[in-house]
Amino acid sequence: MTKCIMNGCDLHDKTMLLKISVDLEPPVTRTWDTDQRGRAAMIRYLQRHAKKNGADRIVFAYEACGFGFGLYDELTAAGIETYVLAPSKMARSPKHRQRKTDERDAQMILELLRGYILAGNELPSVWVPDAATRQDRELVRRRLTVAEDSSAAQTRIRWLLKGHDLKASPARPWTQAYWEWLEQLRRNVLPLSASGALGSLMRQVRWLEEEGDWLMEQVTALSRTPRYVAQVTALCRLKGVGVLTAMVFLTEMGDLNRFHNRRQVGAYLGLVPASYESGEDNDHKGHITRQGPSRVRKVLCQATWSRLRSEPSEQLAYDRIVTKNPKHKKIATVARMRVLAIRMWHAALSVPQAEVA
């Protein structure tokens, strides 16, 4: 029977602590720096340890974190079977949180890995996107972040004006006339300190708007590359779905073929109700799980409201759900978001594979 070197890693920005075990033998604890030299030394040690113990399989697991998938790439390139675990899917008791240490975290990951390798238990691992998808995500996510920052700055302007009892505006918000009104307030109405704060916020909003426009140009250019153009074209045929919504969906969902049915799509996006079953209480449903990429839920919500305004059949479907739940209109919105997500999934998959680079 071949042996297996199993490694549970508690990964941090500067150090990584490993619990290393050969099958069911007691684990040993080792620590390395997380820099390039430390990672290379760790890989060499694991390879020597496997050779010394006659093991032909090395399995490594760590929690997903801000470090990204760089460690996964290096370990995989070295021939080490690697899994990145989802922290949200790892059961932790309140007692564990009170006694949390790096060693205990590494030991917990090792035990999960042992259960998976030796007993076939489910491992709460995440899907690891390819390098190109990760790079594309960075651009699309930056575009969303700039829009959020701009919205936050606009809100700060409104609160500043409310603090000085300036609630009414003669123009629609953020039109040219509105900007002229803000400038008039800054110059002639507000006191010196508030005037300076308003001027700073105005410059910030203008810069963020320009940056958002520039980033949108980059996202549009990316959507026209062979990797995305066919799927983006198919998605944009759906009313309410624009280039940004399509690119967020494609980059965050990744390989769409890993979903086998619409239930998996809804569950991945967190658009299905949570459940709680215990004893006779076997059909208790709660709010949606909100698991998966929140960015996709956000653009789906915006696209759904756009469809409600422009698609009569969509409005009728929404109204039918609202009639059943007049006090819970969010239920109808979430239901139409889920329908849109499934339609986008089908539309993207309908593109012949030869057209997808």
**Residue whose entry in the numeric block shows the structure tokens 């918000």:** 173
Residue 126 lies in a domain: no
Q: Print the SS3 string covering 249-316.
A: HHHHHCCHHHCCCHHHHHHHCCCCEEEEEECCEEEEEEEECCCCCHHHHHHHHHHHHHHHHHCHHHHH
**Domain match, 257 and 189 both:** no
Q: How many domains does the chain have?
A: 3
**Residue whose entry in the numeric block shows the structure tokens 């593109």:** 351
**Domain match, 326 and 244 both:** yes
How far is Cα 41 from Cα 51, in angstroms, rounded to an integer? 15
**Domain match, 39 and 109 both:** yes
Structure-token pair, residue 339? 């329908």
Tell me what pLDDT residue 100 has: 84
**Domain match, 67 and 148 both:** no
Tell me what pLDDT residue 354 has: 43
In which region does residue 60 sit, left (phi positive, over 0), alpha (psi from -120 to 50) or beta (all else)? beta
Tens digits of residue pLDDT in 280-297: 666 656 788 888 899 999
Tell me what pLDDT residue 85 has: 96
Rounded to two decimals, what is the model's pTM?
0.90
Structural domain boundaries enclosing 176: 131-223
**Domain match, 43 and 112 both:** yes
Tell me what pLDDT residue 295 has: 96
Sites in the chain below the pLDDT cut of 50: 354-357
**Domain match, 261 and 345 both:** yes
CB atoms near residue 327 (< 10 Å): 7
The residue among 223, 255, 282 that closes a domain is 223
**Domain match, 307 and 245 both:** yes
**Domain match, 107 and 145 both:** no
Strand order in the sheet with 55-63: 28-33, 15-22, 3-11, 55-63, 81-85
Chain Cα centroid distance, residue 78: 28
- Find the CATH number of the domain harbouring 25: 3.30.420.40
The residue among 91, 119, 147 that closes a domain is 119
Tens digits of residue pLDDT in 92-135: 777 767 788 999 999 999 999 999 999 999 999 999 999 999 99
Q: Are 38 and 14 in contact (CB under 8 A)?
A: no
**Domain match, 201 and 104 both:** no
**Domain match, 249 and 310 both:** yes
CA distances from 133 to 140, 270, 332 (A): 10, 21, 32
- Exposure class string for 1-34: b at 16+ Cβ within 10 A, else e: eeebbbbbbbbeeeebbbbbbbeeeebeebebeb
Tell me what pLDDT residue 357 has: 47
Residue 328 lies in a domain: yes
**Domain match, 304 and 340 both:** yes
Residue 212 lies in a domain: yes
- Nearest Cα neighbor of 102 from 6, 18, 7 is 18
Structure-token pair, residue 225? 């590359």
